[in-house]
Structure 1
Amino acid sequence: MENNHFNSSIAAKISAGEATKKISNLPGWWGVTFSGNSEKQDDKFVIRMGEDAFFNFTVTELIPGKRVVWLVTDCYMPWYSDKKEWANTKLVFDLRESDGITELNFKHEGLTPDVECYKDCEKGWTHWIQTSLFSYFTTGKGDFDKSRKAGN
C-alpha cells in the first residue's frame, strides 16, 4: 500500500483558526497528562500515560487554520516490545475550511499496519480524533473514555 499510515478525518462547524487552537490544547481532547507548550512552531511538550509511558513532541509546523505537525522526538511505551516505536513519527493535522465547516484530516506518519502497536493505536486514534476531538470542536468538551486510549 502506498499510503498505509493511519488516517482519520472529521468535519465540524468550527473555523479552521479555532480548530487549530483546540488541537493545540491537548488536555481539552486527549485526556493525558500534559506539560510544556504546543501553541507555536518549535514548542516542545510531553505527554504521559500512566506512571512510565511518555511521549516527547516538538511542534515542527504550525500554520494557523491550515496545518499542525508534531514530531515524536522520544517515547517510552512499556506495553510493547519496541518501547520506542513512535519515535521519529509525526502527527499531522491538515485543515480546510469551507462555508463555516472545517474538515480535519489527521495522519500519524509512521503508524502503519506492520508496527506492533497498530491495532491498539488505530482503535485509540479513532476514538481520540472521531469522538473526543470532534466533541471538543462541537461542544467544548472532549470524551475521555480511558478504556479506548491510544496505546492501552
Structure 2
Amino acid sequence: MTSTADYQTTVRVKASPDVLFEALTTITGLAAWWNPATGSGATGGELQFLMNAPEPLVIRVEEATRPTSVRWTVIDCPFLPDWVGTRPTFTITPVDGDTSELVFRHRGLSEDLECFGMCSRSWQHYMTSLRDYLEVGGGSPFGSPADDARRQAQATGTPIH
C-alpha cells in the first residue's frame, strides 16, 4: 500500500502577512531563511537556487498573491530528480495584527518518494528558520552553522540537542 499524503506543516509567526509574504518572494528574504537565490519571486517569475550542486534547483512561480499565497512548481532539480513537478505552496492567514499562520504544503512530496524522510526533516528545519528570521532577525539558511550541524547530525545519525 502506498501513501499519497503530501508533506504539510503549519507555523505561527509573529509577523504581519505582508512581512511573511516578502520573506517568501524576495531574493533577500529567501536567502535569509532558506537558500541564496537569483531570479524573480513574482507571479510568472523563475527562481534558481544553488544548493551545493553545479546545477541549480529551478522553480517557476505560479502565483504570488500578496499577502495570502505563494505557489511554486519545481521545473528542474538535477540533484533531487524526485522534486521535478512537485508544487510547494504557502498559504498565509492573518491571526491578529502582528501574527500570521503559514500553512506550507509541498504537493507531490509524499512517502512514495525516496527522499521523503530527508526532505520533510529539511523542510521542518527551514520552517523554523523562517520563523526565526522573522521573529528574531536571523534564520538558519542552507550553509549556515545551524544547517551544517543539522546535516552532519543526519549523516551520522546523531541527535541534535
Greater fraction helix = 2
Q: What residue number does 1:115 align with? A: 113
Unmatched 5+ residue regions in structure 2? 156-161
Corresponding position: 1:29 with 2:33 = yes
Distance 1:2 1:146 in 2: 29
Identity of aligned residues (%): 27
Per the alignment, in what secondary structure is the counterpart of residue 76 of structure 1?
A: coil
Distance 2:104 2:5 in 1: 13
1:1-152 matches, within 5 Å, as 4-24=5-25, 25-30=29-34, 32-38=35-41, 40-52=42-54, 54-77=56-79, 83-100=80-97, 101-129=99-127, 131-144=128-141, 145-147=146-148, 148=150
**TM-score scaled by length of structure 1:** 0.85
Distance 2:16 2:108 in 1: 29
Q: Deviations over 1:74-109 (max 9, x none)?
A: 1111xxxxx411001111000000222100000000
Q: Is the contact made by 2:64 and 2:71 (CA closer than 8 Å) also made in structure 1?
A: yes
**TM-score scaled by length of structure 2:** 0.81
What letter is aligned with 1:9? T
Following superposition, the deviation at residue 140 of structure 1 comes to 2.3
Per the alignment, in what secondary structure is the counterpart of residue 111 of structure 1?
A: strand
Q: Where in structure 1 do 4 or more consecutive aligned residues deviate above 3 Å?
A: none
Q: Which moved more, 1:104-113 or 1:44-53?
A: 44-53
Per the alignment, in what secondary structure is the counterpart of residue 115 of structure 1?
A: coil
Higher gyration radius (CA): 2
What letter is aligned with 1:33? P
Distance 1:111 1:13 in 2: 27
